[in-house]
Structure 1
Amino acid sequence: MADEPPLPRTRVVLGEAAARRGPADPARTDLTEGTPIGDALVKGLIRAQLALALRLSLVVAAGLGALPLLFAAAPAVGGLKVFGMNLPWLLLGVLAFPFLVLVGAAYVHWAERNEQDFTAVIRRPER
């Protein structure tokens, strides 16, 4: 018995788990294999995220960019004092940061909603 060569190793595969698993989801297969349908789904998500980012950047540009224009067009508004501070300092130096945080939080919320919608499309059963 000592002279016999050792048996070759065999690989054990969980065949039962693979057999229990249902058929592959066509949408996930499209995504992982890079088919034209999967590419269209991913491009749709990217387009939605880009459109959201552009809309919110326009909100920031309009909100913060309009203030210097307002102060230049109506110098009397720039001379107003609120809580002992000049209005331009209050708006641009203090209130701009909470505004930017709110816009950022809104972006995160809506971007996650876009991703959840994308995931719902992928997980939707075929009809």
Structure 2
Amino acid sequence: MDEQTTLGHTYVRSLMRSQLRAALTALGALALLVGSLPLVLALPAPEALVWLALGVGVYPVVWGIAHWYVRRAERNERDFTGLVER
């Protein structure tokens, strides 16, 4: 935005709010994942199963959260650009 107008300020604040909302959602999902790990470790399960859950099960979920966040942030920016260019 070239001009610092009230409308431009409102658009930028809207973009920042939507980006913050996406970041907090991703952070909450990650916190739930990491917060549940002590419960997984406390279960009476074979050690191999625990290591499998930690070593293989966590990473696809983290990747999925990261992938969702990047797609959401790009969509927010694309929507913002479309709104400003109109």
C-alpha deviation, 1:59, in angstroms: 0.5
Structure 1 consecutive aligned stretches of length 4 or more whose deviation exceeds 3 Å = none
Pairs within 5 Å for 1:59-78: 59-72=29-42, 75-76=43-44
User: In the alignment, which of 61, 80, 84 is matched to residue 99 of structure 1?
Assistant: 61
Unaligned regions of 5+ residues in structure 2, if any?
none
* Structure of larger gyration radius: 1
SS in 2 for 1:33: coil
Point out the structure with the larger helix share. Answer: 2
C-alpha separation between the residues in 1 aligned to 2:64 and 2:70? 10
Is the alpha carbon distance of 1:99 and 1:112 closer, same or farther for their aligned partners in structure 2, counting shifts above 3 Å?
same
C-alpha separation between the residues in 2 aligned to 1:90 and 1:42? 44
C-alpha deviation, 1:93, in angstroms: 2.0
1:74-125 residue CA offsets vs partner (Å, 9 max, x unmatched): x32xx146xxx22x2112222222221221111111111111111121122x
User: In the alignment, which of 49, 61, 65 is matched to residue 19 of structure 2?
Assistant: 49
| Percent of aligned pairs sharing the same letter | 38
- Larger RCO: 1 or 2 (CA < 8 Å, sep 6+): 2
C-alpha separation between the residues in 1 aligned to 2:39 and 2:29? 15
C-alpha deviation, 1:70, in angstroms: 4.2
TM-score scaled to structure 2, two decimals? 0.84
C-alpha separation between the residues in 2 aligned to 1:49 and 1:103? 15
Aligned counterpart, 1:24 = none
RMSD: 1.7
Unaligned regions of 5+ residues in structure 1, if any?
1-30
**Equivalent residues, number:** 86
